[in-house]
Amino acid sequence: MRKKSLDLYWLEAMKQRGHLSDEEQRSYQRLRKGFEGELTFDQLCHQFLENETDYLDDVTLDYYGDVSQMDKIIKNKNIIYLVDIKNYQGNYVYENNALRSEKRIFTNDIFEQARRSRRIFTRLFADYHLPLEIKNVIAFINGQGRITINDELPEIVLNYEEIPMWLMSMRDHEQGQNNDWQKLVQKYQIQFYKNSRFCTKERFKQLKKGIHCEKCGSFSLKTKRYTIQCLCGHTEVKKIGYLRTICEYGLIMHHLPLKRSEIIQFFGKKYSADYIKNTLINYFIPLNMGIKDGRYQNYGRPFDYWFENEDINLDKLVKRKNWQTRF
Ligand SMILES: [Zn+2]
């Protein structure tokens, strides 16, 4: 399943609890639009590709220091398609080796970026003797966006309405059973892009305290014995609400260890300090084993990332929610 970038998660958390600067707001909009475009493309793939299609989502590759980020990689026959998804509105023209819109010429050339990725992947596959051809695909996913290509380009450039046909063109071809390419890509894949933003201690103090509803964002929640209930009708297992909020603190302050006293502050007076302490003891790793200084390892990731391999225990908690709602 496709996940948001840590930067986007961070900006969302800060927006929910305070104000974003103009620059942050612009980045937030841009990242959110990008993510929405990727989800739309995934939906089209789900609709028009065959189930057994060989693909990878969201790959950040580091091949001997050359880093490349791909939204999607699809393999069909002996071709690897590196897909860049662009959620741009308005009219764009590519002419004389430059991309321009009605207003400006882009210095950050998306075609040059795509070619750079192709060079990195070509080198990787050549080094490991995988005989695969690599092609760039640039997909304009926004129905209100359009690109016109006036140069001869080796890249496949698709406007929104051309995407389904292109995906369908990959049907009815014998899919190879060989997954060597995926294993190779995963070998050089970096799992998490570093979060480039920081929250100062002064700014942290200004943030809104408490647990917010995971569905509607409201901070006016009622804590029951085993659940947290929101006026919007959403109910969350109490343990998960606490874990999620501790992770949110960890994400916002990802450059520092988890600090128990600050986490208690982050929850605010409405929430039980003892419950927070126990949750930390049961689910987090002390920074200095043996020394009880209330500091825990901070992975700086939202709940979905942090506990993604512990589904079994958390699933049990979710199942219990149903019979515990009455408390
Ligand atoms: Zn709610």
Residues 6+ apart with CB under 8 A from 25: none
Centroid of ligand 1 to alpha carbon of 279 (angstroms) = 23
Structure tokens at 226: 């085993």
Domain count of the fold of the chain: 2
Domain span holding position 237: 202-321
Q: Which residue has the higher pLDDT, 23 or 326?
A: 23
Centroid of ligand 1 to alpha carbon of 16 (angstroms) = 13
Q: By percentage, how much of the chain surpasses pLDDT 90?
A: 74
For residue 327, being part of any structural domain is answered with no
Using CB atoms within 10 A of its CB, is residue 96 exposed (0-12), middle (13-18) or buried (19+)? exposed
Centroid of ligand 1 to alpha carbon of 271 (angstroms) = 17
- Torsions phi, psi for 35 (to 5 deg): -65, -40
Centroid of ligand 1 to alpha carbon of 261 (angstroms) = 27
238 close to 246: Cβ distance less than 8 angstroms: no
Per-residue pLDDT reduced to its tens digit, 142-165:
999 999 999 899 999 999 999 999
- Residue 100, SS3 per DSSP: strand
In terms of domains, do 272 and 182 share one?
A: no
Centroid of ligand 1 to alpha carbon of 234 (angstroms) = 5
Q: Does the pLDDT value for residue 326 go beyond 50? A: no
Centroid of ligand 1 to alpha carbon of 212 (angstroms) = 8
The average pLDDT across 172-183 equals 74
Crossing angle, helix 273-283 and helix 238-252, to 10 degrees? 80
- Amino acid at the residue 28: Y
CATH number of the domain that residue 43 is part of: 3.40.1350
Centroid of ligand 1 to alpha carbon of 282 (angstroms) = 27
- Amino acid at the residue 297: Q
In terms of domains, do 164 and 221 share one?
A: no
